[in-house]
């Protein structure tokens, strides 16, 4: 909205210049010229702001581990594959584009013409035929093995795996890189940058490719074996251990000053523990206090417990805003007694590394937002508060509780 206003502002500001030009004949020429430039620039900017506005973020990392993949029901695995290809479950129907970027070149529906890469409908049956193709058997491509000693595909699934990990090992006629006489492929190696899918993600993708046409996909173990045949050990991304953090975050989850409070809450996962008025996502958290800091922060600072922490040199806030900011970046400074862990009361159960995830501007923005929340906003949103510190206890009276999902 603001950015749209800026462009309209640029477009409208020449009016002032034209009025000045009318009244200041000595500077008329320069004012009219500058005004004209601003009209042109403002027109281009306004037109650009009128077009659909889309922000694009780096692809999210999908956490998967070996055990989960192998035991996951086929339909769930296929859904994951659809998400990787089309961006979300249901993305196939909407022709979305996901982390795998496949729909940029491939088509998937009957009748769709694939200009740049083959239509993938009927892939399972066709894959089995491809490996019998004389062009496949007597390969004359820039690459004939995925890596030295990998061998060639002997099954349909192996053919699919080989196509992903060594696109130049077989090029469908008419789809080669221009000027190579179909000896080289324009397709990127899918397990390497820029797409860089892990074997686990590729298993999900292949499962969807089989599953969506009603075929029974090979098991995850079989698909894994196919990929391991064509992707050397050194090139495989290591699967995350169960419960571990993703090894390489796709995009750093940093809170910027440009983020809205909703975005900050979503990025940092605050909703998992806290209820926050005005944030649609944060209605059910019951691990931490309800964040109505306009009401809570002054009370907390004045409390004997907090002052004791100040005396001990552990807490330092003097104003509500300082208190909120301190609570985010240094959650151990003061733990609201009802929420302290019984086993380790000195360490807050809250995430400890927000200090490295918030920019100063982002932190200030979030603090300001939380300080605007009070009993009235909580009541408006009918937040019940967590059991340790319910709404009635904090604000008196009771907000009509929403039912937990």
Partner 1 sequence: MKAISKRIRAWSLVSLGAVVTMLVMSLAVPFFTAPVMADEATKAATEAAPKVEMAKDIYFKTEGPVSGNPAPELKATDYPSYNLPYPLSENRILIWSIAQQHLYFGSFVLAVPIFCMIIELVGLLTKDPVMSKKYDDLAHLLVKISLTAYSVTAILGGLLLFSFITLYPDFFKYISSLFRPVMHIYALLFLAESGTLYLYYYGWDRMTHGFAKWVHACMGVLLNVFGSVLMMLANSWASFMMSPAGVDEKGRYLGNIWAILHNALWNPLNVHRIIGNMVFGGGIVAAYAAYKFLAAKTLEEKAYYDWMGYIAMFMAVGSLIPLPFAGYWLMREVYGFRQQMGITLMGGLLAWLFIIQAVLIGALFFSTNYYLFNGMERMRGAEKYQKYIKYILFLTTAAFLVWLTPHTLVMRPAELKAIGGQQHPVIGNFGVMSAKNGAVNTMIMTTIISFLLYQRSNKIVVVKWEAWGNAALMAMFTVALVNNWWLAIYGYFIPANVRVGLSVPQVIGTLTTLFIGSAINIAMMRGSKLTGPIEWGKISVRSQYALFSLAVSFTWLMALMGYIRSSVRLFWHVMEVFRDNSPWAFTHTIGFAANMMSVNVMAFWLFVLFVFWLGELTSKHAVAEARKEAARPAMAGGSE
Footprint of partner 1 on this chain (CB under 8 A)?
3-4, 6-7, 10, 29-30, 32-34, 36-38, 40-42, 44-45, 47-49, 51-58, 94-95, 97, 101, 104-105, 115-117, 174, 177-178, 186-188, 192-194, 248-252, 254, 256-258, 356, 359-361
Is the Cβ–Cβ distance between 231 and 151 less than 8 Å?
no
Is the Cβ–Cβ distance between 265 and 281 less than 8 Å?
yes
* Nearer CB in complex with partner 1: 54/302: 54
Rounded CA-CA distance 163/152 in Å is 11
Q: How far is the CB of 33 from partner 1 (least distance, A)?
A: 5
Is the Cβ–Cβ distance between 217 and 74 less than 8 Å?
yes
* Nearer CB in complex with partner 1: 345/361: 361
* Nearer CB in complex with partner 1: 21/375: 21
Give me the DSSP letters along 251-273. S---B-TTS-HHHHHHHHTGGGT
Q: How far is the CB of 114 from partner 1 (least distance, A)?
A: 9
Cis peptide bond N-terminal to 302, omega within 30: no
Q: How far is the CB of 194 from partner 1 (least distance, A)?
A: 5
* Nearer CB in complex with partner 1: 258/338: 258
Closest by Cα among 284, 279, 276, 386 to 328 = 276
* Nearer CB in complex with partner 1: 1/137: 1
Rounded CA-CA distance 129/272 in Å is 50
Q: How far is the CB of 23 from partner 1 (least distance, A)?
A: 18
Q: How far is the CB of 164 from partner 1 (least distance, A)?
A: 14
Is the Cβ–Cβ distance between 394 and 292 less than 8 Å?
yes
* Nearer CB in complex with partner 1: 3/23: 3
Q: How far is the CB of 313 from partner 1 (least distance, A)?
A: 27
Which residues on adjacent β-strands are paired with residue 119? none
CA distances from 357 to 22, 61, 115 (A): 53, 17, 44
Q: How far is the CB of 360 from partner 1 (least distance, A)?
A: 5
Rounded to the nearest 5°, which phi and psi values hold at 202?
-65, -35
Contacts of 134 (CB under 8 A, 6+ apart): none
* Nearer CB in complex with partner 1: 45/301: 45
């Amino acid at each position: 909205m603001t950015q749209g206003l800026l462009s309209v502002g640029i477009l409208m500001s020449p009016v002032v210049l034209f009025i000045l030009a009318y009244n200041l004949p000595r500077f008329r020429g320069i004012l009219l010229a500058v005004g004209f430039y601003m009209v042109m620039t403002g027109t281009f900017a306004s037109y650009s702001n009128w077009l659909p506005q889309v922000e694009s973020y780096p692809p999210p990392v999908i956490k998967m581990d070996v055990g989960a993949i192998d035991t996951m029901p086929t339909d769930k695995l296929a859904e994951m594959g659809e998400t990787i290809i089309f961006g979300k479950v249901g993305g196939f129907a909407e022709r979305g584009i996901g982390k795998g970027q496949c729909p940029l070149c491939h088509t998937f529906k009957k009748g769709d013409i694939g200009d740049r890469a083959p239509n993938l409908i009927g892939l399972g049956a066709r894959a089995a035929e491809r490996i019998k193709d004389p062009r496949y058997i007597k390969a004359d491509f820039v690459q004939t093995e995925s890596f030295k000693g990998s061998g060639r595909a002997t099954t349909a699934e192996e053919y699919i795996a080989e196509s992903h990990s060594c696109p130049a090992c077989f090029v469908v006629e008419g789809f080669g890189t221009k000027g190579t006489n179909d000896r080289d492929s324009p397709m990127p190696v899918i397990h390497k940058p820029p797409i860089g899918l892990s074997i686990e993600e590729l298993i999900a993708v292949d499962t969807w490719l089989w599953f969506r046409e009603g075929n029974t996909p090979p098991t995850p173990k079989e698909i894994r074996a196919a990929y391991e045949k064509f992707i050397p050990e050194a090139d495989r991304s290591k699967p995350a251990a169960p419960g571990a953090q993703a090894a390489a975050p796709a995009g750093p989850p940093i809170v910027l000053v440009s983020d809205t409070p909703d975005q900050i809450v979503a990025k940092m996962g605050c909703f998992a523990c806290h209820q926050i008025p005005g944030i649609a996502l944060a209605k059910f958290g019951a691990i931490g206090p309800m964040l109505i800091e306009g009401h809570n922060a002054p009370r907390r600072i004045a409390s004997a417990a907090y002052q004791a922490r100040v005396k001990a040199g552990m807490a330092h806030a003097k104003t509500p805003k300082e208190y909120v900011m301190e609570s985010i970046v240094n959650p151990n400074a003061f733990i609201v007694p009802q929420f302290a862990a019984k086993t380790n009361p000195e360490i807050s159960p809250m995430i400890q590394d927000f200090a490295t995830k918030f920019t100063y501007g982002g932190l200030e923005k979030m603090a300001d937002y939380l300080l605007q929340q009070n009993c009235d906003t909580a009541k408006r949103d009918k937040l019940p508060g967590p059991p340790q510190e319910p709404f009635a206890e904090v604000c008196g009276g009771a907000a009509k509780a929403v039912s937990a999902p």
